[in-house]
Amino acid sequence: MNIQQGHISKEYNDELEQLRLQVLSMGGLVEEHFKGATDSLLKGEIVKAQNISKNDFKVNAMEVEIDEGCSNVIARRQPAAIDLRNVFAVIKIVTDLERIGDESQKIAKFASELKINIKTTKFYTGLKKLAKNAINMLSSALNCYARLDVDKATKVVQMDSTLDNEFADLNLLLTNCLIEDKKNIEDILKVMWCARSIERVGDHAKNICQYVVYVAHGNDVRHGNSE
């Protein structure tokens, strides 16, 4: 089944396409915020951090707008089969995107409060790697949604366990730093929160990919369910 194949009603096509474009546009904004947040954490770019906090309302507004669009399509069109799965996935994906926006805002807030020079710390390399992989997962997830690419989506889902392991290693390192470097406990705790948020972004990217599989094939692969 090709989702691009048109309905008899062109207006219905336009409504579904509009939803898809809105999700991609929200995804683009959220991706920008997340990249900016990690830049502010790793490179100390405070201006970016301030912009993210200032602009989070845009992400929230897009979530509300897309949800309303979905309600309208359900009420007016009673979508079925792949269209229903698509609208359902849009509702779920925007929730994940909005939460990525929130995580980005948290990272930006903590990043702007840090006093330590993060580049000289033991955990810098691990944190940078974690952020790089989470950004990669998010970008790939959005590409998978744009192209309804199930093969790639399945690979991104698998990438999450690598990210979880990296997070666990980093957490161990940060815990050791807490014991060794008592002067900077507050900052290290903030970095721990940031690492946690970055790992959560990986989880949200994984969720988005699972919805891509659901839209394309109709099977729900959440919670390790491969049926």
Partner 1 sequence: MKDIKQNLTQELDQTSGNPLLEENIKISCRKVNVYYHKNVQSIFNVSFDIAKNQIMAMIGPSGCGKSTLLRCFNRMNDMIEECVVDGDIKLDGENIHSKNIDPVILRASVGMVFQKPNPFPKSIYDNVAYGPKLHGLVRNSSELDDIVEESLTKAGLWKETKDCLSKAGTSLSGGQQQRLCIARTIAIKPEVILMDEPTSALDPIATATIEELMYELKSSYTIAVVTHSMQQAARISDRTAYFHLGRLVEVNDTNTVFTNPVHELTENYITGRFG
Give the chain's end-to-end CA distance (angstroms, integer): 19
Q: Which stretch binds partner 1 (CB under 8 A): 6-14, 27-35, 52-60, 89-97?
A: 6-14
Question: Is residue 12 close enough to count as binding partner 1 by CB under 8 A?
Answer: yes
Q: Please, what is the minimum distance in Å from the beta carbon of residue 75 to partner 1?
A: 12
Q: Which is nearer to partner 1, 10 or 183 (CB)?
A: 10
Q: Please, what is the minimum distance in Å from the beta carbon of residue 1 to partner 1?
A: 5
Q: Which stretch binds partner 1 (CB under 8 A): 1-9, 17-25, 52-60, 156-164?
A: 1-9
Tell me, rounded to whole angstroms, the distance of Cα 111 from its chain centroid.
Answer: 19
Query: Which of positions 159-218 make contact with partner 1 (CB under 8 A)?
Result: 218
Size of the site for partner 1 (CB under 8 A): 17
Q: Of 136, 126, 147, 104, nearest to 206 (Cα)? A: 136
Q: Which is nearer to partner 1, 28 or 218 (CB)?
A: 218
SS (H, E, C) the chain: CCCCCCCCCHHHHHHHHHHHHHHHHHHHHHHHHHHHHHHHHHHCCHHHHHHHHHHHHHHHHHHHHHHHHHHHHHHHHCCCHHHHHHHHHHHHHHHHHHHHHHHHHHHHHHHHHCCCCHHHCCCHHHHHHHHHHHHHHHHHHHHHHHHCCHHHHHHHHHHHHHHHHHHHHHHHHHHHHHHHCHHHHHHHHHHHHHHHHHHHHHHHHHHHHHHHHHHHHCCCCHHHCCC
Q: Which is nearer to partner 1, 13 or 139 (CB)?
A: 13
Query: Which of positions 71-110 make contact with partner 1 (CB under 8 A)?
Result: 78-85
Q: Please, what is the minimum distance in Å from the beta carbon of residue 88 to partner 1?
A: 9
Q: Please, what is the minimum distance in Å from the beta carbon of residue 9 to partner 1?
A: 6
Q: Please, what is the minimum distance in Å from the beta carbon of residue 10 to partner 1?
A: 11
Q: Please, what is the minimum distance in Å from the beta carbon of residue 115 to partner 1?
A: 54
Q: Interface residues with partner 1 (CB under 8 A)?
A: 1, 5-9, 12, 78-85, 218-219
